Amino acid sequence: MTIINRQGMHARPAMQIVEISNRFKSGIKIRKGSMVVDAKSIMQVMTLEAVQGTVLVFEAEGADAGEALNALAQVVAEKFQED
Amino acid sequence: MKFQDFICRKALIANLEATTTRGVLEEMVAALVKAGKLSESMHKGVLDTLTSREKKATTGFGNGVAIPHVKHKAVTELIGVVARSSAGVDFAALDGKPVYIFFLLLSPPDKPAEHLKAMENIFRNAQKEHWRRFLQQADSAEAIWELLVEADEEAIV
């Protein structure tokens, strides 16, 4: 997924990612190049430094993995209700 | 980005007197004004923006660390300051624990990449348990500064 909102993934969008991820039982990881972080940890998600245009790969593993990825894709596509 | 690139050394606070969210923000903004990083006329505007940001959602992200931050149009370069409370402050942190270390960051609205770089640096270092512990025990501005420099140097290696 590409981060498309102008301000990038700053604290508020990052918290949205973390909150959505924590609604699901699946383990969820976010990959940026060779870097991998736990999508359920705000401390880790904020180290992605995801500016506008950054490509992030979301990976979920578990019974509700599909649902989780759909929810995450939606919030990214909606620019976290910004712009 | 390094701490030394945006943290105002002259405004570091080793022993916060404040015991409330508003009080902490007030003390830190006042230190930036005193250090000449913010003008007196910006004082109230910046403080109000920080306060309303905290009301919307706490920046007490857990493990005794809070990172109050805003983008403000009166700010033309990244401005950061670090403060430490020896007693801990109830900052409505996500984990419900008191906050001992505060990283305050003010960013110009038109430089989102710079803002994210500074945030990355703060969050990356704030995850290091030993570093947090040392910072929590740093009882002078000089001790805080040394820990910031140390973190910068580790990042180079």
Range of the domain at A45: 11-81
DSSP conformation class of B95: T
How high is the pLDDT of residue A83?
85
Note whether residue A74 is domain-resident: yes
Cα A83 to Cα B123: distance, rounded to the nearest angstrom: 25
Specify whether the CB–CB gap between B69 and B30 falls below 8 A.
Answer: no
Residue B115 has pLDDT above 90, yes or no: yes
Here the tokens at position A45 are 């998600």
Tell me how many domains chain B contains.
1
Q: Please tell me whether residue B155 adopts helix, strand or coil conformation.
A: helix
- This model of the complex carries an ipTM of 0.91
Nearest CA in chain B to A46: B120
- The answer on pLDDT for B79 being more than 90 is yes
CATH number at residue A38: 3.30.1340.10
**Closest partner CB to B62 (pick from A6, A8, A43):** A43
Domain-located, residue A46:
yes
Query: Of the candidates B71, B116, B127, which has its C-beta nearest A49's C-beta?
Result: B116
Task: Find the CATH number of the domain harbouring B143.
Answer: 3.40.930.10
B75: left (phi over 0), alpha (psi -120 to 50) or beta: beta
CA distance B107 to B40: 18
The reply to whether A6 falls in a domain is no
pLDDT at residue B157 greater than cutoff 80: no
Q: Give me the mean pLDDT over the B92-114 stretch.
A: 97
Considering the domain boundaries, does residue A5 fall inside one? no
Model confidence at B99, pLDDT cuts 50, 70, 90, reads very high
Inter-chain contacts counted by CB atoms under 8 A, chains A and B: 47
Q: Which helix (H) or strand (E) holds B154?
A: helix B141-156
Distance (Å) from the alpha carbon of B111 to chain A's nearest alpha carbon: 8
Q: Is A48 on the interface with B (CB under 8 A)?
A: yes
What sign has the CA pseudo-torsion A67, A49, B30, B64?
A: positive
B124–A11 C-beta distance less than 8 A: no
Angle, helix A65-77 to helix A11-22, in steps of 10 degrees: 160
pLDDT digits (tens, 9 = 90+) for A18-69: 999 999 999 999 999 999 999 999 999 999 999 999 999 999 999 999 999 9
State the pLDDT at residue B155.
Answer: 75
| Amino acid in the structure at residue A65 | A
Contact between residue B68 and residue B101 where contact means Cβ atoms under 8 Å apart: no
The predicted-structure confidence for A70-79, as pLDDT tens digits, reads as follows 999 999 999 9
| pLDDT, tens digit, 9 for 90 and up, residues B16-51 | 999 999 999 999 999 999 999 999 999 999 999 999
Q: Is A45 part of a structural domain of the chain?
A: yes
Q: Which domain holds residue B33?
A: 3-156
Structural domains counted in chain A? 1
Domain-embedded: residue A22: yes
Residue B156: pLDDT band by 50, 70, 90 thresholds?
low
Inter-chain contact A44–B127, Cβ cutoff 8 Å? yes
